Amino acid sequence: MKAEEFELPPPSRVNYLNATYGLKSWLLTKDHKRIALLYLGSITFFFFIGGLYALMIRLELLTPQGDFLQSTTYNKVFTQHGIIMIFFFLIPSIPATLGNFLVPMMIGAKDLAFPRINLLSWYIYLIGGVITIYALLAGGVDTGWTFYTPFSTTFSNSYVVATGLGIFINGFSSILTGLNFIVTIHTMRAPGMTWFRMPLFLWSIYATSLVMILGTPVIAITILLLAFERVSRVGIFDPALGGDPILFQHLFWFYSHPAVYIMVLPSMGVVSELIANFSRKNIFGYRFVAFSSLAIAVFGFLVWGHHLFVTSQSVYAGMIFSFLSFAVAIPSAIKVFNWTATLYKSSISYDTPMLYALGFIGLFTVGGMTGLFLAALALDVHLSDTYFVVAHFHYIMVGGALMGYLGGLHYWWPKITGRMYPEGWGRFSALVIFVGFNLTFLPQFVAGFLGMPRRYHAYPPEFQVFNVLSSAGASILGLGMLIPAIYFVWSMRYGKVAESNPWHLPGLEWRTQSPPITENFDVTPVVTWEAYEFAPPEETEIIGKFGSELEQPA
C-alpha cells in the first residue's frame, strides 16, 4: 500500500489550533487556516439565516392564499433569502473556507501570498454582512436579489441603499480572496509542483478566482451607480432622463451569471478530489477536466444575455447568447463524463464524502440539462420567470454547489479539526438531504412548465399540489441540514481522534499532521509525483480500443 509508505511527521501536540490562545490570537491571526475557520463560522451563521427565510417561503406557499405572511413581508423574505444565500453564503462558501484552508497546503506553501489581505477580506466580509443585517433588521429590502430598475431606484420603499452598500463592500472581500489565490498559485508552488501536478481542486479554484476578479468589480460599480441613482433621484438607468433600465440588467447579469460559476466551479473541484481519492484512481483525462474549468470561466462571461430573452433584447442578440449558452454546457458535460469514466475498474468506498460526490453528479446532471431548456430561445419564452427557473438554479446551487461543499467539509474535516465526524450519521444525513432536496425541487419543474410565475405570494389553486410536495421536501431538507451541523460541533470535542492521513491518500495536504502546524509543513516539500498517484505510473492501463494516446501520467 503506497499510501502507508509516506513518511509522516512525528505526532506533535502543537498545531495551528493550539499554537496560541486567546480571542486576540484569532481575531488578528494571519494564518490562512484560522481565517478559514473564521469564515466557516460566519458563513454557517448566514446559511442558517438564509435557511430560515427559505422555510418561511415554503410555509407561505403551502396554501394558495397569502395567509401566513403579508405580501410586503413575503417579498422581503424571498429577497433576503436570495441576497443572504448568494452573496453571503454560496459565493464565499468553498473558496473562503476550504479554499483558504487548502490552497497553500495543496501546493506546499506556508501561507497564502498575502496573509494580511486575507484577514482583511474576512473583516470586509463581516462589515458587509453587518450592514446587510442592519438593513434587514431596520426594515428589509423588497426588490428581489436582482435589484431591477426602475423598481429598485424609484418605486421601492425599502432599505435598498443600505443593502446595496453591504453587497458592494462584501464584493471587495471576494475580489481580494480571488486575487490572493491567483497570486499564490502562480508564485508559491513548492519545488516540483508543476501546473499539471496540481490537484484539480486548485484548477477550479484558479478558474473561480478569475471569475471573481473579472466579474465582481462590475457588480460593484453597478450597485454603486444604483445607490447613487436612488439618492440623487436621477441616473443612468432612469427612463425619464433617456436612460435605459435594461442597461442595468446587462451590467447585473454580466456579473451575476458568472457568479453562478463562482458557486459551482469550486464544487466541481471538490468533486474531482472526492471521485479520484475515494476510488483510488487518477482522474480520467486530467487535462480535459482542468481546462474545462478554465473554459467554463471564460465562456461564462459571454452568456449573460440569456437572462434577457424576453426583455425586448434584439432577436439576433438572443440567438448569439443562446448559442454561447449551449457552448458553455459542453465543458460541464465533459466533466460529468470524465468523472464517470474515472470510476471504471476503480475501488470505490462508500464513505460520506463519496456519497455527496455521487449525489452531486446526479443532481448536477439534472441541473445542467434543465439549463438547456432555458438556453433554448423559444422554450425560455415560456419558462423564464417561472418556477422552472427556480428549480433549475436550485439544482445547480444546492444540488451542485452545496453538495460539493458538504462533501468537501466531511472529507477534510479530520484535517481541519483533527477529529473524525461520525460516519453513520454522515451517511444518513447525506441520504436525507438528497431525498429532501429532490422532493423540494423536482415538483417545481412541473409547476413552472404549467406556468406558475416565481416570486408569487399567492397563486392559483391548481398549483397547490406541487407546492405542498415542495414544502414537505423543504422540511426534510431543513432537518437534514441540522444533522451535520449538530454532529460537526459534537465531533470537535468528542469525535474520534483522526490520524494524519485517515483516508490513506497521496495528496500533499495529507502528508502533514492533523491538524497541521501553523507553518503547514516542517520543511518545504519537494513534489516528485503526479496528482492522484496511487500506484506507479508504469502500471497505467489503457481502456479498450480507444486509448491510443497516453495522456497522463506522463
Instruction: Out of 8, 247, 442, 517, point to the residue binding another protein (CB under 8 A).
Output: 247
Which CA distances in Å does 552 have to 196, 197, 285, 334, 520?
Answer: 10, 10, 7, 17, 29
Three cell numbers, residue 110: 506556508
Rank residues 485 and 542 by Cβ distance to another protein and give the closer one.
Answer: 542
Q: Is 281 in the site for another protein (CB under 8 A)?
A: yes
Which of positions 50-109 make contact with another protein (CB under 8 A)?
66, 71-72, 75, 109
The CB-of-263 to another protein minimum distance in angstroms stands at 19
Question: Does residue 144 contact residue 454 with C-beta atoms inside 8 Å?
Answer: no
Could you tell me which of 117, 90, 102, 136 has the C-alpha nearest to residue 267?
Answer: 90
The CB-of-242 to another protein minimum distance in angstroms stands at 5
Q: Is 202 in the site for another protein (CB under 8 A)?
A: no
The CB-of-251 to another protein minimum distance in angstroms stands at 5
The alpha carbon of residue 182 and the mean position of all alpha carbons in its chain are separated, in whole angstroms, by 18
The CB-of-23 to another protein minimum distance in angstroms stands at 23
Rank residues 127 and 236 by Cβ distance to another protein and give the closer one.
Answer: 236
Q: Is 259 in the site for another protein (CB under 8 A)?
A: no
The CB-of-331 to another protein minimum distance in angstroms stands at 9
Rank residues 221 and 485 by Cβ distance to another protein and give the closer one.
Answer: 221
Which of positions 30-49 make contact with another protein (CB under 8 A)?
none
Q: Is 121 in the site for another protein (CB under 8 A)?
A: no
The one-character DSSP state at 535 is S
Rank residues 236 and 483 by Cβ distance to another protein and give the closer one.
Answer: 236
Beta-bridge partner residues of 497? 419
Residue labelled with grid coordinates 497541521: 516
d(CA 281, CA 534): 7
Could you tell me which of 224, 217, 299, 293 has the C-alpha nearest to residue 255?
Answer: 217
Rank residues 424 and 547 by Cβ distance to another protein and give the closer one.
Answer: 547
The CB-of-299 to another protein minimum distance in angstroms stands at 13
User: Mind giving me the DSSP string for 22-68?
Assistant: SHHHHHT---HHHHHHHHHHHHHHHHHHHHHHHHHHHHHTTSSS--S
Beta-bridge partner residues of 358? none
The CB-of-15 to another protein minimum distance in angstroms stands at 17
Instruction: Out of 302, 379, 472, 517, point to the residue binding another protein (CB under 8 A).
Output: 379
Three cell numbers, residue 477: 431538507
b or e along 277-305 (b: 16 or more beta carbons within 10 Å of the residue's beta carbon)?
bbbbbbbbbbebbbebbbbbbbbbbbbbb
Question: What binding mask, one character per residue, do residues 423-462 give for another protein by CB under 8 A, x or -?
Answer: -----------------------x--xxx-xxxxxxxx-x
Instruction: Out of 42, 163, 338, 417, point to the residue binding another protein (CB under 8 A).
Output: 338
Residue labelled with grid coordinates 441541473: 367
Q: Would you call 315 exposed, middle or buried from its count of C-beta atoms within 10 A (0-12, 13-18, 19+)? A: exposed
Instruction: Out of 33, 280, 415, 419, point to the residue binding another protein (CB under 8 A).
Output: 280
Rank residues 28 and 465 by Cβ distance to another protein and give the closer one.
Answer: 465
What angle do the packed helices 464-494 and 32-60 form, to 10 degrees? 150
Residue type, 294: L
d(CA 236, CA 245): 8
Please measure the distance between the N-terminal and C-terminal CA atoms of the chain and give it in whole angstroms: 22
d(CA 474, CA 456): 18
Which CA distances in Å does 447 have to 204, 380, 461, 519?
Answer: 34, 15, 12, 53
Rank residues 9 and 451 by Cβ distance to another protein and give the closer one.
Answer: 451
The CB-of-300 to another protein minimum distance in angstroms stands at 14
Instruction: Out of 59, 298, 341, 483, point to the residue binding another protein (CB under 8 A).
Output: 341
Instruction: Out of 59, 62, 69, 343, point to the residue binding another protein (CB under 8 A).
Output: 343
Q: Is 5 in the site for another protein (CB under 8 A)?
A: no
The CB-of-489 to another protein minimum distance in angstroms stands at 29
Which of positions 153-192 make contact with another protein (CB under 8 A)?
153-157, 159, 161, 175, 179-180, 182-184, 186-188
Q: Is 535 in the site for another protein (CB under 8 A)?
A: yes
Q: Is 543 in the site for another protein (CB under 8 A)?
A: yes
d(CA 340, CA 192): 29
Instruction: Out of 12, 287, 494, 522, point to the residue binding another protein (CB under 8 A).
Output: 287
Rank residues 367 and 478 by Cβ distance to another protein and give the closer one.
Answer: 367
d(CA 420, CA 352): 12
The CB-of-361 to another protein minimum distance in angstroms stands at 6
Which of positions 465-494 make contact with another protein (CB under 8 A)?
465
Q: Residue 460, Cβ neighbours under 10 Å: how many?
A: 11
Could you tell me which of 395, 383, 393 has the C-alpha nearest to residue 447?
Answer: 383
Could you tell me which of 266, 165, 148 has the C-alpha nearest to residue 207?
Answer: 266
Rank residues 112 and 202 by Cβ distance to another protein and give the closer one.
Answer: 112
Which of positions 214-243 make contact with another protein (CB under 8 A)?
214-218, 220-222, 225, 228-236, 239-243
Three cell numbers, residue 134: 442592519
Q: Is 348 in the site for another protein (CB under 8 A)?
A: yes
Q: Is 382 in the site for another protein (CB under 8 A)?
A: yes
d(CA 58, CA 302): 34
Three cell numbers, residue 6: 509516506
Instruction: Out of 51, 128, 166, 245, point to the residue binding another protein (CB under 8 A).
Output: 245
Rank residues 400 and 478 by Cβ distance to another protein and give the closer one.
Answer: 400
Three cell numbers, residue 107: 501546493
SS (H, E, C) 89-125: HHHHHHHHHHHHHHHHHHHCCCCCCCHHHHHHHHHHH
Rank residues 182 and 481 by Cβ distance to another protein and give the closer one.
Answer: 182
Question: Does residue 26 contact residue 38 with C-beta atoms inside 8 Å?
Answer: yes
CA angle, residues 443, 446, 450, in degrees to nearest 5? 140
Instruction: Out of 130, 317, 372, 497, point to the residue binding another protein (CB under 8 A).
Output: 372
Instruction: Out of 192, 524, 526, 528, point to the residue binding another protein (CB under 8 A).
Output: 524
Q: Is 352 in the site for another protein (CB under 8 A)?
A: no
Q: Is 526 in the site for another protein (CB under 8 A)?
A: no
